[in-house]
Structure 1
Amino acid sequence: MSPTRFASEHKWVYWGAIVILVSLVITGIVRYEAVKTNNETASKANQLRDQLVKAGYPAPDTETLERVLGTDGGPVCDDPGSALKTALWKIQQGNGATGPGMRPVITDSKAVEVERIVLQVYCPDEVDDFEDSLNDLKTDDTVRR
């Protein structure tokens, strides 16, 4: 049997090898990106945990931070200085009543500090917008420790 006849009769072997090789390359690239993302996520979560402990807060669970904030800060970094987020944040700082009994309260400065730390770790370019949105917010040491 001549080599050209073998090659022409068994093209499926070559095509199969090509398909397997391409699928292995794609799998390798996908796995590399996943490992790279996991390392970055863990690094940022550890950095945030260290910053919070340094500021006097209890150490949060890094696995939870990784799931919630990911590599980009997730919902925390999605335009933190926007009017809607500022309004929702102010509503959450109310007295807990509903309807006409709902009143704003003076927010504890520690609550603002935690969000600032998260922004500094995950999206430092958003810190100035966040600070601008808090200019009219009155804070004080309202929570007893």
Structure 2
Amino acid sequence: MMSTHLETQPKRERSVIATVVIVVLVVLAVIATIFFVNARQESKGVEKAQQLIDAYGKAGISLRLTPEQIARVLGNDGGATCADPNAALARATLLEGLANGAGGPGTRPALVQSQLLKGQLLIIQTYCPKEADQFQKFVDSLNTVKVGS
């Protein structure tokens, strides 16, 4: 014959324990979901970075970065490069980087290697292809120098 003990724990105490356990489980589920989504996005970023490295290789541009390093900078959406690559500010920033490096009144435009712009174009083609045609027209309008061919 089996005997059962009479429950002496108050009902309120049992409901508090159950509530705490449920809250902890929900928090753990949310944390697990966040880690899962981040891992998936990181994986997509590495895949995109590998596509970019392959495009650089086909274009004859050597690159010493790993897909993980590129993914940290560009993510899976191109980061700042694809925020609005055809906006006036983005173009002005690019042109400033192509200047002679002098400050103030000594700043002058400089002829740059076409491969410098090709790298930027490949990033845009890989990460934000909708912007690529308009950016290609902008690049084609610039005077560049071909080196090595």
Q: TM-score interval w.r.t. the shorter chain?
A: 0.7 to 0.9
Report Cα offsets for 1:42-101 as digits up to 9, x if no partner: 111111111111211113312321111011111111211111222222222222333343
Q: 1:138 Cα deviation (Å)?
A: 1.6
- CA–CA separation in structure 2 for the residues paired with 1:123 and 1:21: 39
Q: 1:106 Cα deviation (Å)?
A: 2.4
Q: 1:118 Cα deviation (Å)?
A: 0.6
Task: Structure 1: give runs of 5+ residues left out of the alignment.
Answer: none
Task: Structure 2: give runs of 5+ residues left out of the alignment.
Answer: 1-5
2:3 corresponding residue in structure 1: none
More off after superposition, 81-90 vs 40-49: 81-90
Normalised by the length of structure 2, the TM-score is 0.82
Q: 1:26 Cα deviation (Å)?
A: 0.8
Q: 1:37 Cα deviation (Å)?
A: 1.0
Report Cα offsets for 1:99-132 as digits up to 9, x if no partner: 3433222232211211111111111111122123
| 1:119 matched to 2:139 | no
Q: 1:8 Cα deviation (Å)?
A: 4.6
Question: Which residue of 17, 22, 29 corresponds with 1:25?
Answer: 29
| 1:93 matched to 2:103 | no
- CA–CA separation in structure 1 for the residues paired with 2:103 and 2:113: 21
Structure 1 residues 6 and 50, CA, compared in 2 at 3 Å: closer, same or farther?
A: same
2:60 corresponding residue in structure 1: 56
- What percentage of residue pairs aligned between the two structures are identical? 33
Report Cα offsets for 1:10-49 as digits up to 9, x if no partner: 2122112211221121122111111111111111111111
- CA–CA separation in structure 2 for the residues paired with 1:9 and 1:67: 48
Structure 1 residues 25 and 104, CA, compared in 2 at 3 Å: closer, same or farther?
A: same
How many residues get paired? 143
Secondary structure of the residue aligned to 1:29 is helix
Structure (1 or 2) with the larger CA radius of gyration: 2
1:70 corresponding residue in structure 2: 75
Normalised by the length of structure 1, the TM-score is 0.84
